[in-house]
A and B are shown apart, each in its own frame.
Chain A
Amino acid sequence: MSQIFHHSTNTLARVTIFGGVFILGFVSWALAELDTSAYATRATQAREQPVPFSHAHHAGGLGLDCRYCHTTVETSGFANIPPTKTCMNCHSEIWSTSPMLEPVRASFRTNTSINWVRVHDLPDFVYFNHSIHISKGVGCETCHGRVDRMPLTWQDASLRMQWCLNCHRHPDRYVRPREDVTMMGYEPAGDQEQIGRQLVKQYHIQDARALTSCSTCHR
């Protein structure tokens, strides 16, 4: 009786059988990677803005304190985007004719908001509160990265839940003294582990069980 298949098909059969297992593993790994990738999270992607505002220049170069513009960061959950008025405080004097700043002046003239593109955008079911993080000694840099080196602002971290949990499970690895909260390029004076543990005590930072309770972030 004639062979239907060539001998090589045996090998093919074996490969497909065993291969299946590995393919499954690979796919799940790939998906997870994709989910945290810059493509999905937009992390590290500089965003086009109506005005090419440079943190590198204002925070880095001029050394403006974050709180000069983001005034409510210590009092409210929402670190406000400065009103056009704030921009005009300076820019009615300096660069007052720069075409680059025309949208700002237009906004001020016509009393219409500047339409910024949101860079850090958490899902609507996550309730992040800036003020409490600031008051517990979580540095701006810890989440936003070296903003003072961003000519155009981008999101530094993945902002995935796993990433949040890193800190909520071990705050001592990340907290810094309150006075250094807005400092860029902060270096712990000594062993972070030890300083952190001491700060956690000092600032009455809740234990991991409280910090990882669902309702801490989700309502």
Chain B
Amino acid sequence: MPDEQEVLEDNTTRAVIAPGYTFGTVTDQIASVVLTKHQPMFWVACFGVAFSLLLLFLWAIVLLMAKGVGIWGIRTPVMWAFAITNFVWWIGIGHAGTLISAILLLLNQQWRNSINRFAEAMTLFAVACAGMFPLLHLGRPWLFYWLFPYFPTTIGVQPNFRSPLVWDVFAVSTYGTVSLLFWYVGLMPDLGTLRDRAKNRIGKMIYGVMSMGWRGSAKHWSIFETASLLLAGLATPLVLSVHTVVSFDFTIAILPGWHSTFFPPYFVAGAIYSGFAMVLVLAIPLRKVYHLEGLITRRHLDNSAKLMLATGEIVAYAYIMETFLAWYSGDVYEQAAFWHRMTGPYAITYWVLITCNIILPQALWSKRVRNNTPVLFIWSLIVLVGMWLERYIIIVSSLAQDFLPSSWSLFQATRWDWATFLGTIGLFTFLFFLFIRLLPMISIFEVRTLLPQAKVEEEVRG
């Protein structure tokens, strides 16, 4: 173990990681989190909370299966509410991971190396949570497979490819698969490391199987490099495509407040916005608890904050344009829809969302705020709330008051709406803390490449 003095954080340099690390210390520090018997109270506590929320989720689902979606607050005309809101929100959160791992890799942004691993994990778990909702919200979930084209069929009917929901099926499943592969491939060298360092035989066995016989030979490395580059290439377009397709669910519909051409960029920006918020929400406590300030430095937080700010501005622009166009279109229904949003029954929610997503984040312009980790943590939480509210407003307020006033009716969430939502948060956290416990949350070998020693060796080699 490196003694603390060596890795004391240095605020002055813009180095990606703090000085004083050696190959050994890096590996030690990261691997030790996994290869140990006892966990910090922090882990136990969080894991406990997450697990109880997960149980709540299971209960909610059992009830859902037993009685039907009627247990939620949905009604005519608000046929979609929490389920789809959560779906879009989780999918969005996933984006940051892919962006970091894929795009930043291609752009050769080295600072990504120490955060890409758990960012990708976050993506996976977020997609897992998101992926559940399209199934759960079905009236007859057990028939979900009708949304897939499958052969041979005995009823001679295939899905309706004009429907955005079918596009969703493809978009999301592709996204899930690619992210999983990318993440797993990236893990293999470290799994190898863990296998070699694991104390007991079972540990060796498990990590052994998972590392698929990784020996770190030059051949392995070269194949590995190619693979990750290819996967990065595959994943990059997904960052844009997935949320674009998700936004089609709304833009294809004729509903005022949904029927809009610039949803795709607006949604993608929003996705990355919330994604980086989640990255920070996870990173800040982790580096504190596991003393990783040396590996996840101020620089990482700062960059993430800046990205948040940038995407946040895009989102702000989208809001303004959306409202302007509604007015400019001269369309009665569009105008009414936005008027209702701002002054109607959902006005409070709407203004809270504006505050969370546009007004407060402006503080991130200041370096002092960006460097103040506790504040940054809270700000990220605020953005996450804001982004959830954004989807909620878009979906619910548009549906509640559309064309014929005669069928207007306001959505009221039931306790089971909340249970399902909190449940998925539980599931997410549950999976994430399992990940921390069982796998290296920071890519050992990639961080190593950041060490000065690595450069030296390169020179020697070259």
Nearest-CB residue, chain B, relative to A40: B154
A9 to B212, CA, bound (A): 9
Min CB gap A111→B, angstroms: 43
A160 near B155 with CB under 8 A, answer yes
How many residues in A have their beta carbons less than 8 Å from beta carbons of B?
A: 16
A162 near B205 with CB under 8 A, answer no
B152 near A161 with CB under 8 A, answer no
A161 near B155 with CB under 8 A, answer yes
Can you report 29 A-B residue pairs in the complex whose CB atoms are below 8 A from each other? A1-B196, A4-B195, A4-B201, A4-B205, A4-B208, A5-B208, A5-B209, A5-B213, A9-B213, A13-B212, A13-B213, A28-B150, A28-B151, A29-B152, A32-B151, A32-B152, A32-B153, A36-B154, A158-B154, A160-B154, A160-B155, A161-B154, A161-B155, A161-B156, A161-B157, A162-B153, A162-B155, A162-B156, A165-B156
Which A residues are CB-close (under 8 A) to B212? 13
Which A residues are CB-close (under 8 A) to B151? 28, 32
The yes or no answer to B306 lying at the interface (CB within 8 A) is no
The majority secondary structure among interface residues of chain B is loop
The yes or no answer to B259 lying at the interface (CB within 8 A) is no
Which A residues are CB-close (under 8 A) to B156? 161-162, 165
Residues of B in contact with A, size category: 10 to 19
A4 near B204 with CB under 8 A, answer yes
A35 near B196 with CB under 8 A, answer no
The yes or no answer to A98 lying at the interface (CB within 8 A) is no
The yes or no answer to A202 lying at the interface (CB within 8 A) is no
Which A residues are CB-close (under 8 A) to B154? 32, 35-36, 158, 160-162
B184-215 CB mask vs A (1 if < 8 Å, else 0) is: 00000000000110000100110011001100
A148-173 CB mask vs B (1 if < 8 Å, else 0) is: 00000000001011100100000000
Per the 8 Å Cβ criterion, residues 310-334 of B in contact with A are none
A161 to B153, CA, bound (A): 10
Min CB gap B270→A, angstroms: 35
Which B residues are CB-close (under 8 A) to A162? 153-156
Ranked nearest first, the 7 interchain pairs of A and B with the lowest CB-CB distance are: A161-B155, A162-B156, A32-B152, A4-B208, A165-B156, A160-B154, A35-B154
B127-171 CB mask vs A (1 if < 8 Å, else 0) is: 000000000000000000000001111111100000000000000
Nearest-CB residue, chain A, relative to B201: A4
Chain B contacts to A: CB under 8 angstroms: 150-157, 195-196, 201, 204-205, 208-209, 212-213
Which B residues are CB-close (under 8 A) to A165? 156
The yes or no answer to A10 lying at the interface (CB within 8 A) is yes
Per the 8 Å Cβ criterion, residues 102-156 of A in contact with B are none
Which B residues are CB-close (under 8 A) to A35? 154
A1 to B198, CA, bound (A): 13
Nearest-CB residue, chain A, relative to B213: A10
A205 to B212, CA, bound (A): 63
Which B residues are CB-close (under 8 A) to A4? 195, 201, 204-205, 208
Nearest-CB residue, chain A, relative to B157: A161
Which A residues are CB-close (under 8 A) to B196? 1
A166 to B419, CA, bound (A): 48
A165 to B156, CA, bound (A): 7
Which A residues are CB-close (under 8 A) to B152? 29, 32
Nearest-CB residue, chain B, relative to A32: B152
Nearest-CB residue, chain B, relative to A164: B156
A35 to B150, CA, bound (A): 14
Which B residues are CB-close (under 8 A) to A36? 154
Nearest-CB residue, chain B, relative to A28: B150
A13 to B152, CA, bound (A): 30
17 other contacts beyond A4-B204, A28-B151, A32-B154, with CB at 8 A cut-off?
A: A4-B195, A4-B201, A4-B205, A5-B213, A9-B213, A10-B213, A13-B213, A28-B150, A32-B151, A35-B154, A36-B154, A160-B155, A161-B156, A161-B157, A162-B153, A162-B156, A165-B156
Nearest-CB residue, chain B, relative to A161: B155
Which A residues are CB-close (under 8 A) to B213? 5, 9-10, 13
A5 to B150, CA, bound (A): 39
Which A residues are CB-close (under 8 A) to B195? 4
Which A residues are CB-close (under 8 A) to B208? 4-5
Min CB gap B313→A, angstroms: 45
A158 to B156, CA, bound (A): 13
A158 to B212, CA, bound (A): 47
Which B residues are CB-close (under 8 A) to A13? 212-213
A35 to B204, CA, bound (A): 45
Min CB gap A167→B, angstroms: 12
Which B residues are CB-close (under 8 A) to A160? 154-155
Min CB gap A29→B, angstroms: 7
Which A residues are CB-close (under 8 A) to B157? 161
Which B residues are CB-close (under 8 A) to A29? 152
Per the 8 Å Cβ criterion, residues 1-34 of A in contact with B are 1, 4-5, 9-10, 13, 28-29, 32
A39 to B154, CA, bound (A): 15
Which A residues are CB-close (under 8 A) to B150? 28
Pick from B196, B201, B209 the residue with the most CB of A within 10 Å.
B209
Nearest-CB residue, chain B, relative to A10: B213
A162 to B158, CA, bound (A): 12
Min CB gap A122→B, angstroms: 13
Which A residues are CB-close (under 8 A) to B201? 4
Which B residues are CB-close (under 8 A) to A10? 213
Pick from A1, A4, A10, A29 the residue with the most CB of B within 10 Å.
A4
Nearest-CB residue, chain B, relative to A13: B212
Min CB gap B90→A, angstroms: 26
